[in-house]
Structure 1
Amino acid sequence: MTTSQSPLASGMTRRGLLAGALAGAGSLALYGCQPSAGGSSGGSDTLTVAGQSDNLARTFNPFLPNTAQGLTYASPGQGNFIYEPLVQINTVDIGHDIPWLAKAWRWSDGNKTLTCDLQSGVKWTDGTAFSADDVVFTYTMLKKFPALNMLGIEFTTVTAPSPTQVVFTFATPSEQFFTNIVSSAIVPKHIWSTVKDPTKYVDSDPVGTGPYQLKQFSAQSLLLVRNENYWQAKAQIKQLRFVAYKDNEGMTNALVQGQADWGGTYIANAEKTYLSRSKDYHYWAPLAGTDGLIPNLERWPLSDLAVRRAISLGVNRKQVGGATGSPPATSVTGLPMPAYTSSIAPAYKGVDFTQDVAKARQTLEDAGYTKGGDGYYHKGGKRLEFSITFPSAYTDIASRVQVLVSQLKDIGIKLTIDTTTVTDINTLTAKGDFDSTMGYPVDSAPRAFSYYNDTINPNLYYPIGKATPTYQNIERFKNDEAAQLFKEYPKATTDAQRQQILDGIEKIFVENLPWIPMFYWGTYGNWSTAKATGFPSPDNPYFSPVPNPVVALRLKPA
């Protein structure tokens, strides 16, 4: 079970190589159109939300991709405005997840049993009482119809000892998969149990437990109105109008021109393009992941640790990430900072990457490399040279790679560019048919262990030529000590035990540098405070700023 998939599998929720493509949306030339003082159309109790969709059919089945419900869906773990999960997973304040339909939970039996206590007094928008039976029905359906199980949730049994309690059992310790387990949208049994094939169910008039419900729908937009019988305090913003745009450029134009109040899109040159247009405009991308140079550890020269160390020492990460406006990776553990500060081993707190070109060259020379007349290092009659493979369509990665080519030349390493297609990149990296690539094609749960599990777990090793089915450990890292730590982690029953194992994994990462972190990426949020306040921000980082129900419930009319 894993959250990792091809980076091209699920649109905005997938990172790694795809993240590069999204972050590299073309710069926009927007002149002359100043936002109106009143912001978007609609009264002060209505916010217009810019979404991305080229398939706005009236389908609200929360388990199907590329449907209208996707327009109102933040990401796995944050539910949507109609259907809700058991827990809201916090991707900004890591580890501080928010009780939702489940008010409490606990693990037992060596992390093979998860008990969730549910909220009382919850009702579906048709007035029917919500209960544990709805939860059991939903998860049983996911198990019966794997095509709906987008989060890869695996369990042995799910039962309801009472109307307000659900118990999951697992064949093996599964606490490390918590974020996926509790993130499924919950649907009403009294409606969905009559559906013969939920994989084809359009759910055109959704009945949920969420803070909003569908009122109007068209091919271009949909209107959600406040659920007046919501089980939590009612939203103060009475209506959300979602407008569909086919790409980042359309979303950005709407935000810049004041036609939309809230969105979640990358904006090139945001200071000039967006923020300078109005004092009410805000843009924040809390750091959520790390990208970098991924070596093939079974091909020379990147199989040589000295070469990897020299690269890490020699590069200017600020310039590499800065080519596309991404902040440089700092912590030597590779974990995104400051989001993962609490997970950093004591030995590495405050220990950051530093550039030292002289030391990089000395590292190579100490390892037996000598500078040739061509300006590059050589060893054993071979020039220190490797290629980097990425899709030619990903212009942002190309920008970063051009910087890297120049920087590596300065330390005596030749980097050549080997472009491919978006279609072929996953096949090549999965089979190990590459020298290096950039990004990391996984979508890790917001936990430090998941981050390492997806990128360096030796137990997920596949030999060259045999494709890694989940795109994990594509660099093919092998280390017996690490393999054992990854096996022990699921058995840990306390936070202290888990952190101790994590400390060991971090040490192995730092000392072996199985891949080379370069820069951080974030989740982009854009909003105007002309009509509403209460959005998360760097000063109040309580949750992700992309459109989601947690934030919507905290908003207040301006």
Structure 2
Amino acid sequence: MGTLALTACQGSGSAGTTGANDELTIAGQSDNLTQVFNPFLPNTAQGLTYTSQGSGGFIYEPLVQINTVDIGNDLPWLAKTWRWSDGNKTLTLDLQTGVKWTDGTAFSADDVVFTFTLLKNYAALNTLGAEFAKVSAPSASQVVFTFAVPSQQFFTNIVSCPIVSKHIWSAVKDPTSYTDKNPVGTGPFKLSTFSAQSFVLVRNEDYWQPKAQIKSLRFVAYKDNAGMTNALVQGQADWAGSFIANADKTYVARSSHNHYWAPINGTDGLIPNLERWPLSDLAVRRAISLGVDRKQVAAASNDVAATSVTGLPMPAYTSSIAPQYKGLNFVQDVNKAHQTLTDAGYTKGSDGYYEKGGKRVEFSISFPSSYTEIAARAQVLVSQLKDIGIKLNVDTTTVNDINPMTAKGDFDSTMGYPVNSAPRAFSYYNDTINPNLYYPIGKSTPTWQNIERFQNAEAATLFDEYPKATTDAQRQQIIDQLETIFVENLPWIPMFYWGSYSDYSTAKVTGFPTPQDPYFSPVPNPVVALRLKPV
């Protein structure tokens, strides 16, 4: 979403009234803003201040900040160094010293061990899928994870988890329902005031790193993108991380201070339920892939059309592409799309849609009605699929309901994978197509991975073998084979590359990441907040 400058002359009650550049207003999205800051629960106020793998930690901090823009240059955070040993079955992290919780209690390795023991004991809290055999603290400043199998590939899952305090959380009877109304973290900001419309985080004056130059952050919740965009355009917010239609005209052109940047982070498209016809039929999926105009789909949301048939985001993953797929891109071929269906025994009915066995090739796409960028893409797909004889229906729901629906398999298709794959080729495939993460329809996938419910014996074996690989060449060989499985089975249909939508104004502060200085993700996050300097 976009962000606009707030001026000092705004009236009482408006964002930014703390004077000059002391406060930034951050626009976020929530159906129902409640005072819940438990970092392990979805759809809470905490969700506006902590998202995994790339922007964690205004209040609760991770061990490492994973860099999704400058890939590979992850930032030491609560952990200052780390190393793997014992054939990648042991991970040792040395922690920062002098860190305190905002109630003045000293932070130590015991807090880290407590947090991960909590995740191990309560699977519902382990949304990042952090798997390990044992975690221990040899000293107050060192933590050691041991794994049953080589697990370096899951580094991001481990180090992205928010760390909570042992002295407070050990007294919590049920952490799966704990609201944590007054959170005590180690982060650069702490909760000040809360209302049903917004809440304020103030600067942690005793922060273990150089403290923020911005004194406070006001998080304002909006129901949908339209409300956020309006607030940003009207100058009621300074920073956000969301989609703006026609951003250059709608937002950037309104002021020389307004900026919109969405560095490519991943691939998205049509995600089918592979256990529901007609998308269970590979011929139908291939016809859709052949028939769509990806540039038009991407343009509907200011995104970039997906190119590589491997589904991997390009050009960031160029080095991970198998030789046979380098430069092999998706090509629209409507005639071939029709031929694919007819060769598979489909015939076109009088209504212009293909059918088979008396059933029309028809399915729905489910997504939250407030996600205007997905709605724009869906409308393009409705028209494009009609042109190739496939009927697509739009089925909207709420932000709170979409993830439970897809986790249980209660959908025909959707768009917007509910997990953010770490910037690694293995993680990307592991999150989206690992058959070992298969759950039958009706049983929720606990980490929302493989929601399309892809099953493939060869792929399952490869995912098991990858952790055992001891060299980069061996690991790449397995990735090459996974790419072949993806291309030949098309478990989901890549259509566009998504970025970290970000909108920010430099009227009050400078120091945001830019295409010229892409030091970190530009969405609201503490790494950037700590670099911002008042004008």
TM-score, normalised by the number of residues in structure 2? 0.83
What aligned pairs does 1:510-549 form with structure 2 within 5 A after superposition?
510-549=487-526
Aligned residues: 523
Distance change in 2, residues 1:481/1:156 (3 Å): closer
Residue 445 of structure 1 aligns with an amino acid whose one-letter code is S
Distance change in 2, residues 1:414/1:134 (3 Å): closer
Contact 1:285 1:524 in 2 (8 A): yes
Identify unmatched segments of 5+ residues in structure 1.
1-22
Aligned to 2:56: 79
Aligned to 1:264: 241
Residue 318 in structure 1 maps to residue 295 in structure 2: yes
Distance 1:199 1:462 in 2: 22
Distance change in 2, residues 1:85/1:385 (3 Å): same
Aligned to 1:123: 100
Residue 99 in structure 1 maps to residue 73 in structure 2: no
Distance 2:124 2:368 in 1: 30
Distance 2:232 2:285 in 1: 43
Aligned to 1:508: 485
Distance change in 2, residues 1:147/1:319 (3 Å): closer
Residue 437 of structure 1 aligns with an amino acid whose one-letter code is S
Residue 495 of structure 2 aligns with an amino acid whose one-letter code is M
Deviations 1:492-549 (Å, cap 9, x if unpaired)? 2444432221121112212332322122333321110011111122332222222110
TM-score, normalised by the number of residues in structure 1? 0.80
What aligned pairs does 1:145-160 form with structure 2 within 5 A after superposition?
145-160=122-137
Aligned-pair CA distance for 1:250? 3.5
Aligned-pair CA distance for 1:416? 4.8
Aligned-pair CA distance for 1:393? 6.4
Aligned to 2:458: 481
Contact 2:5 2:507 in 1 (8 A): no
Distance change in 2, residues 1:230/1:342 (3 Å): farther
What aligned pairs does 1:31-430 form with structure 2 within 5 A after superposition?
36=7, 40-41=16-17, 42-53=19-30, 58-75=35-52, 78-195=55-172, 197-199=174-176, 202-218=179-195, 220-295=197-272, 305-361=282-338, 367=343, 385-391=360-366, 394=369, 400-411=377-388, 413-417=389-393, 419=395
Name which of structure 1's ranges 38-47 and 80-89 shifts more when overlaid on structure 2.
38-47
Distance 2:332 2:102 in 1: 57
Distance change in 2, residues 1:223/1:97 (3 Å): same
Distance change in 2, residues 1:293/1:347 (3 Å): same
Residue 262 of structure 1 aligns with an amino acid whose one-letter code is W
Contact 1:60 1:206 in 2 (8 A): yes
Distance 1:204 1:378 in 2: 54
Distance 1:215 1:433 in 2: 40
Contact 1:35 1:256 in 2 (8 A): no
Residue 494 of structure 2 aligns with an amino acid whose one-letter code is P
Aligned to 2:13: none
Name which of structure 1's ranges 446-455 and 418-427 shifts more when overlaid on structure 2.
418-427
Distance change in 2, residues 1:494/1:38 (3 Å): farther
Distance 2:158 2:114 in 1: 14
Aligned-pair CA distance for 1:147? 4.7
Aligned-pair CA distance for 1:88? 0.9
Aligned to 2:434: 457
Name which of structure 1's ranges 518-527 and 237-246 shifts more when overlaid on structure 2.
237-246
Distance 2:117 2:212 in 1: 31
Aligned-pair CA distance for 1:325? 3.8
Q: What percentage of aligned pairs have identical amino acids?
A: 70
Name which of structure 1's ranges 75-84 and 133-142 shifts more when overlaid on structure 2.
75-84
Contact 2:366 2:413 in 1 (8 A): no
**Over aligned residue pairs, what C-alpha RMSD do you find?**
3.8
Contact 2:283 2:344 in 1 (8 A): no
Residue 188 of structure 1 aligns with an amino acid whose one-letter code is S
Distance change in 2, residues 1:515/1:216 (3 Å): closer
Contact 2:55 2:523 in 1 (8 A): no
Aligned-pair CA distance for 1:200? 5.6
Aligned to 1:437: 413
Distance change in 2, residues 1:526/1:135 (3 Å): same
Contact 2:53 2:65 in 1 (8 A): no
